[in-house]
Amino acid sequence: MTPVLAIENLHLGFKGYTGYTEVLHGISLSINPAERVALVGESGSGKSVTARIILGLLQEVRGATIRGELRFLQHDLNSIGTKHWRDLRGTRMSMIFQDPTSALNPVFTVGVQFIEVLRRGSAPLSEAAALSRASALLQSVSINDPERVLQAYPFQLSGGMNQRVMIAMALANNPALLIADEPGTALDVTVQAQTLDLMNQLVASHNTAMLFISHNLGVVREFADRIYVIYRGRIVEQGPTAAVFNDPGHPYTRALMAAVPRITGGGIADIPDTSDEFLQPCVNHGSAL
Amino acid sequence: MSAVVQLLLRRLGISLIVLVGVSMLVFGIARIIPGDPARIALGPNATVEQIAKLRSSMHLDESIVVQYGHFIKDLSRGDLGMSLYTNRPVTLDIAEFLPATLELVIVAGLLMIGIGLPLGRWSARYRGRLADHVIRLVSLLGVSAPSFVWAVILMLLFAFFLPLFPIAGRISDTYTIERVTGFLLVDTLWAGNFQAFSNALWHIVLPAFALALSGIGQAARLTRANMIETYDKPYIEMAQAYGFSGRRIANRFAFKPSLIPSLTIIGLDFAAMLGNAFLVEAVFAWPGLSRYGVAVILRKDLNAIIGTVLIISATFLLVNLIVDLLIAFLNPRIRHSQRQTS
Amino acid sequence: MKRTLIILLRNPLSLLGVLLVLMVIVLAVFADFIAPFPDHKGAVVDFVYFNQAPSDRNLMGTDLVGRDLFSRIIYAYRISLMLGVVVLVISVPIGVLAGLFAGYRGGKTEFVLMRLTDVFLSIPPLVLAIAMMGVLEPTLLNAMLAVTAMWWPWYARLVYNVARSEREEGYVLAAEVIGASQWHICFREILPNCLPAVITKMTLDMGFVIIIASSLSFLGLGVQPPTPDLGSMVAEGARYLPDSWWLTVFPGLAILVAVFGFNLIGDALREILGAEQ
């Protein structure tokens, strides 16, 4: 089976005043159609930059050097050119951001922004057609009064509502890949759980593959088929969710798991800032499929 | 009552308070003048009786508070007193000279917005590249000289060295245009005289550019700064992640949020133009309020000084009022603020 | 501080700004030694060399009574710089204090002070100065007074905005909780946060004061002859365009060079100090 996304030996570095700093030290990762894959690590580990490289956003930043193979569907992303890559964004691949309210433009209504996104898709759409499609999509994310929401500005809606709007937008053009960067971390826990459930169902019904970026192992356990654990720009452990959780092989994964708060109490174990153990080679549980 | 109307009323109230403050300030300044205004007005050959008569008719014998009271009473009837320089009511003088100045300032303001904003937008979109460096340097040069220097340079280059534009005046003497609004660009069209219109337009190009150059620079710098701040916002990254083109992001998604904070300052720059018009009018012999203003100042013609400053401040407050409304119209947070309060 | 200086000197544009400003300062301070004709700063007449185009003898030509333009421009820089420094030294502390108290105290102080600045700010800057000069005698001292009067409200507004937002910050509340005096909070807690913005504005304003002051004298309302002033030199020369172009072009460019220098530094400072916050 051809994977939706295949990353091979990805390096990322920045040239700055102090010289060259490497942030990603050769990451490999693949996602199969309709598969939900999680990339887990603490902040600064390189999760978010990986997402931005896949979308082709970091390539435009000056001083960023990127090496490695990137394949998306039948495209070799490194050779298709920025214009073609851009055409894939918002259509074949899309993204959900961490804070829904600040990711929506404050001076345009939800409706206007939704129409813009729908028009990124294939055929030219009339405004009325776009609005009725947007309205249907909003209903699919359990928004009962889509007309009101379409006329509202993001600041007039709750965070959870904006999150649903963003999920609907992300799936509007039936992408093959959805990248979710810490979705809903800015929301409170119950709203976050609801929207994640919703996203999960929709991804399944749209047959969309998902790259789920998170620092939260609890969330990952529920939503991912497969897990990559990333530490300081290196993948340290990978495998099916159950395998990784039942038998964490890498010292860093074990430390990360120990740091999850438990109802039984006992406090949270600290993850040391750095440890020689964490630099051990990658533990691979193989693929579930 | 809609939020915008509420805002309008509140701003109108504040503007009125400020205008009263301005009148007190200007009145105060005019009364600290050393020497006797009546004596200055009548010249050295006046008799003591003449001076005393003028003093009492100008209420100069009474306390400054009473004087101010008289002033406000007259003002509410639209009477700013007689100009000692032209021997006509000040309001009449202002009505004659203000349109020419306003016309110049409005055209310059349009140039500022029409050129400054796109330049700033372009500069921000190509941040760090050659176009950005060139625009930054040029707009910094624009704000680095007073408008009379630009007036002189433009005149030398485009009226003398390359004789493309006229050197002085608003319109060639061959045209007689009936005065309707006092704005020549309007009156010529009103008369259906397109030749005269293009002649007037041709006359206003250099003065308006000289007046606008620093405003253009300021608007470009401001727009660039605000756009660059906007470019760091998550919603711009979202637009990029959804594959919108750089041009569309610059012109639509990043521009509108950046325009809102720019507008206030652009209003202030418009105000600065009302002052700078004095300088440009002097170079291009533009028959506006400036020549009158400078003349009455040199003659210490108090009524005319107060009237001129007051009318300019009122114009300025009006511009700011319009800008505030424009912001309220563009910014949904203000337009829909009643939902948050209720 | 040291880091700021290093960044300033490393960027070619801000380095250019520093060099231009240094040049202007050196010219102004050592005018007596640099000017080829030091006595031409005053009412001197030399009809042998009147209205001469630029030449080896007179780098920028001579004016209508034969005075060396280059020498007069150098002395005019003296006046411009002095005016700029005096205006800022007086108006900045006044504005900063007003803004600080209005922003921190709130209530009536805030209302009165801010409406007062509104009044000043709603008269276009140049117009207020023109009106003041109109009733005062046009002298250097009065020009300073007039420009100062129109300048302080800008600083009041700037500091007020910072102070008002800082008032709500945690560290100010913390200082209040441990019983720090208002004096201490204003000057030790809030003021340091306003300084980068104030310093940046002062640099940009040096240029702006030069512009306003030269505008006043251009209208004949500022420094009076025979004291050399860039604005009145342009005004005088404008009548003899285009033949005696040097009479206006060189004083005009002299203003541009000085203001451009200050603006380059101010711009760079804004970027450096702004990024540090």
DSSP string, C26-89: HHHHTHHHH-SSGGGGSS---GGGTTPPS-SSSTT-B-TTS-BHHHHHHHHHHHHHHHHHHHHH
What Å distances lie between residue B222 and B191, B265, C249, CA to CA? 40, 8, 29
pLDDT of residue B172: 83
The pairing of beta strand A234-240 with beta strand A75-76: unpaired
Q: With CA atoms as reference, report the closest residue to C18 among C260, C274, C273, C233.
A: C260
Which residues of A fall within a CB distance of 8 Å from B261?
Answer: none
pLDDT of residue A19: 81
The residues near A125 (Cβ < 8 Å, ≥ 6 apart) are A115, A118, A119, A133
State the CATH number of the domain containing residue B214: 1.10.3720.10
Q: Are residues B44 and B108 in the same domain?
A: no
pLDDT at C276 over 60: no
Evaluate whether residue C103 is within a structural domain: yes
By C-alpha distance, the chain A residue nearest B254 is A105
**What span, in angstroms and rounded, lies between the C-alpha atoms of B270 and A113?**
33
pLDDT of residue A157: 92
Q: Are residues B116 and B231 in the same domain?
A: yes
B193 and B200 in contact (C-beta within 8 Å)? no
- The residues pairing with A178 across neighbouring beta strands, listed in sequence order, are A94, A210
| Most confident segment among B7-16, B205-214, C230-239 | B205-214
Which residues of A fall within a CB distance of 8 Å from B233?
Answer: 102
- Chain C contacts in chain B segment 17-76 (CB below 8 A): 17-19, 21-22, 25-26, 29-30, 32-34
Which residues of B fall within a CB distance of 8 Å from A153?
Answer: 332-333, 336
Evaluate whether residue B53 is within a structural domain: yes
**What span, in angstroms and rounded, lies between the C-alpha atoms of A262 and B49?**
100
Per-residue pLDDT of chain A (289 residues; tens, 9 = 90+): 688 999 999 999 988 777 888 889 989 999 999 899 999 988 888 888 999 999 998 887 778 889 999 999 888 988 888 889 999 998 999 999 888 889 999 999 999 999 999 998 877 888 899 999 999 999 988 889 999 999 999 999 998 899 999 999 999 998 999 999 888 777 788 888 888 888 888 888 888 999 999 888 888 888 889 999 998 889 999 999 999 988 888 888 888 888 766 666 555 566 666 677 777 778 888 764 4
What three-state secondary structure class fits A70? strand
**What span, in angstroms and rounded, lies between the C-alpha atoms of B212 and B147?**
8
User: Long-range contacts for B77-84 (Cβ within 8 Å, ≥24 apart)?
Assistant: B80/B303, B80/B306, B80/B307, B80/B310, B81/B303, B81/B307, B82/B303, B83/B296, B83/B301, B83/B303, B83/B304, B83/B307, B84/B41, B84/B299, B84/B301, B84/B302, B84/B303, B84/B304
Q: Are residues B115 and B258 in the same domain?
A: yes
Which residues of C fall within a CB distance of 8 Å from B313?
Answer: 122-124, 127
Q: Are residues B286 and B177 in the same domain?
A: yes
Q: Length of chain A in residues, anyone?
A: 289
**What span, in angstroms and rounded, lies between the C-alpha atoms of C31 and C25?**
10
B97 touches chain C (CB under 8 A): no
State how far residue B21 is from chain C, nearest Cα, in angstroms: 6
**What span, in angstroms and rounded, lies between the C-alpha atoms of B318 and B298?**
28
Of B19, B144, B275, the CB nearest to C124: B275
The parent domain of residue C79 ranges over 2-6+13-31+63-276
Of B144, B152, B302, the CB nearest to C260: B144
Chain B residues contacting A, CB < 8 Å? 128, 233-235, 237-245, 253, 256-257, 260, 330-333, 336, 339
pLDDT of residue A289: 46
Average the pLDDT over each of A43-52, B127-136, B233-242, B264-273 and give the range with the smallest value. Answer: B264-273
Q: Is there a contact between B32 and C135 if contact means CB atoms under 8 Å apart?
A: yes
Q: Is there a contact between B297 and C242 if contact means CB atoms under 8 Å apart?
A: no
> What's the pTM?
0.85
**What span, in angstroms and rounded, lies between the C-alpha atoms of B283 and B275?**
14
pLDDT of residue C141: 85
**What span, in angstroms and rounded, lies between the C-alpha atoms of C92 and C203?**
12
Evaluate whether residue B36 is within a structural domain: yes
**What span, in angstroms and rounded, lies between the C-alpha atoms of A170 and A195?**
13
Q: Is there a contact between A105 and B241 if contact means CB atoms under 8 Å apart?
A: no
Evaluate whether residue C213 is within a structural domain: yes
**What span, in angstroms and rounded, lies between the C-alpha atoms of B337 and A116?**
26
State the CATH number of the domain containing residue C162: 1.10.3720.10
By C-alpha distance, the chain A residue nearest B248 is A116
Evaluate whether residue C104 is within a structural domain: yes
What are the φ/ψ torsions at residue B219 (nearest 5 degrees)?
-65, -40
Q: Are residues B48 and B112 in the same domain?
A: no
The parent domain of residue B41 ranges over 3-76
**What span, in angstroms and rounded, lies between the C-alpha atoms of A136 and A150?**
11
| Most confident segment among B73-77, B85-89, C18-22, C194-198 | C18-22
Which chains touch A (3+ CB pairs under 8 A)?
B
- Residue B107: pLDDT band by 50, 70, 90 thresholds? very high
The residues near A254 (Cβ < 8 Å, ≥ 6 apart) are A248
Q: Is there a contact between B243 and A106 if contact means CB atoms under 8 Å apart?
A: no
- Residue B1: pLDDT band by 50, 70, 90 thresholds? low
Terminal alpha carbon distance of chain B: 12
User: Long-range contacts for A221-227 (Cβ within 8 Å, ≥24 apart)?
Assistant: A221/A245, A222/A196, A223/A36, A223/A38, A223/A196, A224/A36, A224/A37, A224/A38, A225/A35, A225/A36, A225/A37, A225/A288, A226/A35, A226/A36, A226/A37, A226/A38, A226/A287, A226/A288, A227/A37, A227/A38, A227/A40
Final residue of a domain: which of B44, B76, B108? B76
A149 and A25 in contact (C-beta within 8 Å)? no
**What span, in angstroms and rounded, lies between the C-alpha atoms of C238 and C233?**
9
Evaluate whether residue B324 is within a structural domain: no
- Chain C contacts in chain B segment 254-273 (CB below 8 A): 268, 271-273
pLDDT at B2 over 80: no
Evaluate whether residue C132 is within a structural domain: yes
Which residues of B fall within a CB distance of 8 Å from C134?
Answer: 296-298, 300, 305
Instruction: Compute CA C223 distance to the chain's CA centroid, rounded to the nearest angstrom.
Output: 15
pLDDT of residue A114: 93
State how far residue A53 is from chain B, nearest Cα, in angstroms: 11
pLDDT of residue B33: 64
- Chain B contacts in chain C segment 173-212 (CB below 8 A): 207, 211-212
Q: Are residues B111 and B63 in the same domain?
A: no
B305 touches chain C (CB under 8 A): yes
State how far residue A224 is from chain B, nearest Cα, in angstroms: 23
Of B128, B234, B257, the CB nearest to A62: B128
B94 touches chain C (CB under 8 A): no
pLDDT digits (tens, 9 = 90+) for B312-336: 888 888 888 888 888 888 888 777 7
Q: Are residues B103 and B34 in the same domain?
A: no
**What span, in angstroms and rounded, lies between the C-alpha atoms of A174 and A38?**
20
Tokens 């030449």 correspond to C55
Evaluate whether residue C25 is within a structural domain: yes
What three-state secondary structure class fits C124? coil
pLDDT at B148 over 90: yes
C146 and C216 in contact (C-beta within 8 Å)? yes
Tokens 């010219």 correspond to C27
Q: How many domains, chain B?
A: 2
pLDDT digits (tens, 9 = 90+) for C229-255: 999 899 988 888 788 889 899 999 999
